[in-house]
Amino acid sequence: MGTIPVDHTGKRLDLAGTRDFTRPGAGEQRRARLAAYGRSWLGDLWDEAVAPLRGTHDQGVALAAVGSLARGDGGPLSDYDLVLVHDGRSMDAGDVTALADRIWYPVWDAGVRLDHSVRTLGECRSVASADLSAAVGMLDLNWIAGDPLVVSGIRTSIAHDWRGNARKRLPELRESLEARHQRNGDLTTAIEPDLKEARGGLRDMTILRSLTAAWLADRPHGDVDAAYGRLLDVRDALHVVTGRGRDRLSREDQDGVAALLGHLDQDALLTEVVECARAINFALDGTFRRAAQSQRARTLRVGPRRPVLHPLGYGLYEHDGEVVLGQGLSPRGDSLLLLRAAAASARRRLPLAPATVANLTRDLVEPTRPWTSEIRDAFVDLLAAGPGLRQVWESLDLAGAIALWVPEWRAVRSRPQRNAVHRHTVDRHLIETVVEASQARAEVDRPDLLLVVALLHDIGKIAGVHDHAVEGAPVAANIARRMGFVGDDVDVIELLVREHLTLVDLATRRDAQDPATVRALIDAVEGRRDILDQLAVLTQADAVAAGPKAWTTWRAGLVADLVRDTRAQLGEHHTVPAEPANATALLGPDAVDDVAMGIAYVHIVPTPRGASIQIADRDRLGLFADTVGLLAAAGVVVRTARVRTADGIAVNSWEVECPGGDLPNPQDVSRGLGLLAAGDRGPLRALERRRRTPVPDAPTTRATVIPGGSADATVIEVRSTDRPGLLRDIGMTFAKCGLAVRSAHVATYAGQSLDTFYVTAAGGRPVEPPAVAQVIAALIDACDS
C-alpha cells in the first residue's frame, strides 16, 4: 500500500487552493482537481488491491463511485460513496469480500469518510427498486477502475428502470423531498443553514437531475447552474475554514467563510446563500410541474389532442394548471399585461408558465414616472391576490421584474434578519405581511394604501441603518410618488411606514390605561381614525408575518385594548359622499326626452383603462341590479361608479375595464334594460349560466349603517371582496327587500369593493331599524355566498 498518501486530508485541502476562491471559474477548476486526485488515488488503491488476483482483476468486477465524487462536484473534505460491482460469475464471494476489504480499509486509514457497498447487477436493481434515495444516487454511478462494461451495464439498467417506473416514482419522490425539507428546514430562512439537505440546498440539485433522467422534463439551465456553483463554493470554503467535511454553516464559521469568499460580512454571505437556494428551489418546483404535465399528457392522449384553454381575460388563459398567453398578443415590454397575468395567476393559485414569464419579461421596460393609474391599479390588484402572491412574486422577482418596478427592492432582497422573532428574510417578510394584510383589508377605508405600506414598511432595513422605520419612510414616500400616488395618499404611506412600530411599542412598553399613552397614539396617527385603522391592521399583519413569537395572545390583547380606547377618544369616523342636487343637469335635452319615453340612454367613451359609461333610465325598483347585471354579462369589471337619482331619473356613471377586450354595445345595453323592465330576464341568462369563480381566503363581508348619514335615506356601507356579479347581488338584495337605491358610490381598491348606498323604503322614507338589521344580514349572505 505504498502509494497511499499519509497526508490525504492535507493533500485535498492543498488542492482546494485556499488563495483562489474569488477568481472567476476557480470553483469548477478546484472541484475538477479534487475529483481527478480522488479518482487517481482510488485507482492506485485498486491496482494494489487486485494484484493478488494475478491478471484476472479486470474481468467482471469494477470499482464505481456515486454521489459527489461521481458527479465531480465534491468538496475538499467530502466523503466518498463507493460501490464494488461484479457480475456474480467471474469471482467467488470470498474473493469479492477480500477485494473489498483491501480497498475499504486503506480509505478509512487515510481518514476519509466512506459509504461503501458490494453489489451485483441484480442487487443494484433490487436496491434501487426498494430504496428511492439509492435509486437517485445510482443514476450518477461512475466508473473508477476495473471492468467498465460492468459499470456501464448497471448504469444503463438503473436508468431504464427509473424511466420505466417514473409514473409511480414521481409522487414518491415528491413526498420524500417534502419530508426531507421538513426535517432539515429551509435554506432561505435559516441563520445556520444546512447547505446540503435543506430546502434549496445541494441535494435538491440531485433531485432536479433525476427528474431529467426520467425523460419527463428538461430542467432549467444557466441561472440555476450558476447558483449551484456558488453554493458549492460556500460548501468548499466551509470545509477549508473548519478543516472538516461539514455541510451546516454555523454562526462561528460564517465570518471565516465570508472572508475566504470575498464577502463583506456574514449578512452578505447569507444573502448569497439565500439567492442560490431560491434559484434552485424555483427550478425544482417548475421541473416537477413539467414532469407531472408530461405524465398527464402521456396518460390522456389518444391521437392528436388540442390544448384545452380556459379564458381568464386580457388575452390570458389557463392551460394544464398554468396561466399562459393567448395568440396574437405582443407582450414585450408590457408591464400592464405582466401585472394582469400575475394577478390572475395569484388569485387562482396557479403558476405562471415559464414561457409566459420569459415572454412577458423579455425587453421589459420601466413604467413611465409616475405610473399610469392602470399600472398602479394592476400592481395593487396583484398585492391583494392573497396567499397565491407568494409563488407569483417569486417568479417575477427571479425574472428581474420587481427590481425594475421598485429598484429599492434590490437592497432588501434575500437579506437575512438576525432577530429571533423573524422567520423570513426581509423581502419574504414583506410579502408575508402583504398576504396577512390582504385578509383584513375590509377593516380599512383604503386597502390599496394598506397593501402598499405592508410591502414597503421594512424597505429601510438595509446595511448601516439604525432606525429602519424612520429612514425607510422617505424612501417609501418616493416609491409611492413614482407609483402615481399623490398628496394625502403619499403622506399617509410615509406616516404609516415611519410609525409602523409605534402601536405595538406603546401597547407593550407603556401603560395602556394611562391617558398619556392614548394621547401618544393619537398624535402618532395625527388624530385620524382612518390612519388608526390602517395602523392597527398593519401592526397585526407585520407581527403575524414575523412569526408566532411576535404575535402572542398577550400582545394581541394589549394592542386591541389600546386601539379600542383610542377609537373611543377619536369617536366614530365615516366619510359620507354628498348626494347630487340635480342629476338631470348631467344629461342633454334629447337624452331626457328619450328617457321620458322609456328609452334608456347609454353613452360609452373608450379610455386607456377600458371605458366610461353613462346610463340614464327612469327610476324603478331593481334598476340598479339590472344595470350592473347587464354590465357583468358584457364581461366588464367595474372600477368606480356613481349612481344618482333625481326627478325620477337615475343617472349612473361607470368607470370599467374590459378584460375580454370588447366594449359593450350601447344599443344592446339600452335594449336589455327595456326588456328587463318588461319582465324579460333573457339579457341576464349569460350571467346566470356563468359559473362563479370562488375566491379562496377572501375577507368576510362587512355591511354597516352609517348613523346620521342622511335625513331622508338610510346610508349603508358594504365592504366585500370584488368579484363578477357582486354589485348585482347587492342590488338584487335591495330589490328583494323592497328598497330603492337612490344614489350609490362604488369604488374598488386592491380587489376590495367599498360601496356606499343611499336606500329608501316605500314612499321614499328611511328604512325602519328592525328592517335594517334584516337587510344587513341579507347583504352579508349575498356577498359571501
Q: What is the predicted pLDDT for the residue at 56?
A: 54
Most confident of 97-101, 471-475, 749-753: 471-475
Domain assignment present for residue 1? The answer is no
Q: Are 769 and 722 in contact (CB under 8 A)?
A: no
CA–CA separation, 760 and 766 (whole Å): 5
pLDDT at 5: 46
> How do residues 274-289 score in pLDDT, each as one tens digit?
999 999 999 999 899 8
Domain count, the chain: 5
Q: Verify that 771 and 623 share a domain, yes or no.
A: yes
Average per-residue pLDDT in the chain? 88
Report the C-alpha gap between 66 and 23 in whole angstroms: 29
Rounded to 10 degrees, what is the CA torsion of 187, 191, 195, 201? 0
The whole-angstrom separation of Cα 349 and Cα 340 is 14
Cell 454521489 maps to which residue? 67
Residues 129, 116: one domain?
Answer: yes
| Phi, psi at 6, each rounded to 5° | -75, -20
- Looking at the domain assignment, is residue 68 inside a domain? yes
- pLDDT category at 523 given cuts 50, 70, 90 is very high
Q: Per-residue pLDDT for 770 more than 70? A: yes
* 581 lies in some domain: no
The yes-or-no verdict on residue 583 having pLDDT over 60 is: no
Percent of the chain with pLDDT over 90: 57
Q: Is it the case that residue 193 has pLDDT exceeding 80?
A: yes
434 and 481 part of one domain: yes
Cα distance between residue 469 and residue 467, in whole Å: 6
Q: Is the backbone of residue 414 left (phi > 0), alpha (psi -120 to 50) or beta?
A: left
Predicted confidence (pLDDT) per residue in 210-251, tens digit: 999 888 888 888 899 999 999 999 999 999 999 898 999 999
Mean pLDDT computed over 661-690: 84
Q: How confident is the model at residue 111 (pLDDT cuts 50, 70, 90)?
A: confident
Comparison of pLDDT for 17 and 13, the residue scoring more: 13
| Percent over 70 (pLDDT), the chain | 92
Among 136, 164, 192, residue at a domain's last position: 164
> Is residue 263 located within the same domain as residue 377?
no
Which residue's C-alpha cell is 478546484?
A: 30
Q: What is the reported pTM? A: 0.85
The pLDDT confidence band at residue 2, using thresholds 50, 70 and 90, is very low
Residue 436 shares a structural domain with residue 566 = yes
Q: Which amino acid is at 141?
A: L
Which pLDDT does position 64 carry in this prediction?
96
Are residues 421 and 525 part of one domain? yes
Least confident stretch, 100-109, 299-308, 644-653: 299-308
Q: Are residues 708 and 759 in the same domain?
A: yes
In the block, cell 391617558 appears at 515
Establish if 579 belongs to a structural domain: no
* Helix, strand, coil share of the chain (percent; to 5): 55, 15, 35
d(CA 426, CA 694) in angstroms, rounded, equals 32
In a shared domain, residues 20 and 157: yes
Domain that holds residue 729: 586-784
Mean pLDDT of 466-476: 95
- Residue ending a domain, among 147, 164, 181, is 164
Confidence of residue 36 (pLDDT cuts 50, 70, 90): very high
Residue 478 and residue 556 in one domain = yes
Query: Is 304 a member of any domain?
Result: no
Determine contact, residues 210/217, Cβ cutoff 8 Å.
no
What are the tens digits of pLDDT across the range 380-407? 999 999 999 999 999 999 999 999 999 9
495-506 confidence digits (pLDDT tens)? 999 999 999 999
Residues 120 and 144 reside in one and the same domain: yes
Question: What integer pLDDT is reported at residue 691 of this predicted model?
Answer: 46
**pLDDT higher than threshold 70 for residue 689:** no
Please check whether residue 446 lies inside any domain of the structure.
yes
Secondary structure (3-state) at 252: helix
- 406 three-class SS: coil
Is the pLDDT score of 441 beyond 70?
yes
pLDDT band per the 50, 70, 90 thresholds, residue 59: confident
Give the CATH number for residue 484. Answer: 1.10.3210
- pLDDT score of 207 more than 90: yes
Residue 311 located in a structural domain: no
Q: Band the pLDDT of 435: cuts 50, 70, 90.
A: very high
Question: In degrees rounded to 5, what are phi and psi of residue 708?
Answer: 70, 20
> How do residues 698-712 score in pLDDT, each as one tens digit?
677 899 998 888 888
C-alpha cell at 372: 399610469
Q: How many residues are given for the chain?
A: 785
Is 308 a domain residue?
no
Same domain, 201 and 238: yes
Asked if 151 and 184 sit in the same domain, the reply is no
Boundary-marking domain end, from 134, 164, 194: 164
CATH number of the domain bearing residue 55 = 3.30.460.10
CA distance 148 to 140: 15
Name the amino acid, one letter, at 518.
Answer: V
- Say which CATH number the domain at 203 has: 1.20.120.330
Pure H helices in 468-528: 468-483, 487-498, 502-509, 515-524
